[in-house]
Amino acid sequence: MKNGATYLNNQFLIAMPNLTDPGFSHTVTYLCQHNDEGALGIVINRLIDMKLGEIFTQMDIKASSQSAIDAPVFSGGPVQQERGFVIHEATGEWDSSLLISDIIALTTSRDILEAIAAGEGPQNYLVALGYAGWGEGQLEREIISNAWLNTPSGNDILFSTPVSQRWYAAANQIGIDINKLTAPAGHG
């Protein structure tokens, strides 16, 4: 992809209905980094049986914000599931952040969790454990083989849409009823 490269940063990867891998079936992944070396994304529609308050407790972070304590935690993907990632509005200065767009960032440092716990962090955020990763050229091959549909991202889907509706909503924003796609549909 070096000549005339088009990268999919700040886009959604929507699992096509024929993608049967249990780790990715019916998922929406927010692509945070995509370049010649591969891609990194966070699955935004797979909850785990944990609240953010449990992470605060494990990390010995004092929490005063009840909404943060009760916030859901997502399974961001199968790689490094012990590592936390926060997708959030690009506000504040954090020790380890990657600006994904003008308005969205990905942060992996403790300071943002401390701010969220105190009710002083970004208003909109999503906390995930683990990430989805692709090696050089792997994602491109999977898209060509109709495993994924890529669409522009949307903050409403990231932060407001009910988790159970994100797969449909992500496809619907470009006019696709994902339920009506059949296995041969997609990239020809």
- How high is the pLDDT of residue 179? 79
- How high is the pLDDT of residue 176? 84
CATH of the domain at 16: 3.40.1740.10
- Interatomic CA distance for residues 167 and 18, integer angstroms: 14
Q: What is the torsional sign of CA 173, 174, 178, 180?
A: positive
Cβ neighbours around 79 below 10 Å, total:
12
Query: Is there a domain that residue 42 lies in?
Result: yes
With a threshold of 0.85, does the pTM exceed it? yes
Q: Residues in the chain with pLDDT < 70?
A: 1-5, 182-188
- How high is the pLDDT of residue 183? 52
- Interatomic CA distance for residues 72 and 10, integer angstroms: 22
Query: Is there a domain that residue 3 lies in?
Result: no
Query: Is there a domain that residue 166 lies in?
Result: yes
- How high is the pLDDT of residue 38? 94
Range of the domain at 80: 11-180
> Domains in the chain: how many in total?
1
Q: What is the mean pLDDT of the chain?
A: 91
Query: Is there a domain that residue 146 lies in?
Result: yes
Query: Is there a domain that residue 31 lies in?
Result: yes
- How high is the pLDDT of residue 188? 46
- Interatomic CA distance for residues 41 and 150, integer angstroms: 12
Query: Is there a domain that residue 60 lies in?
Result: yes
- How high is the pLDDT of residue 174? 86
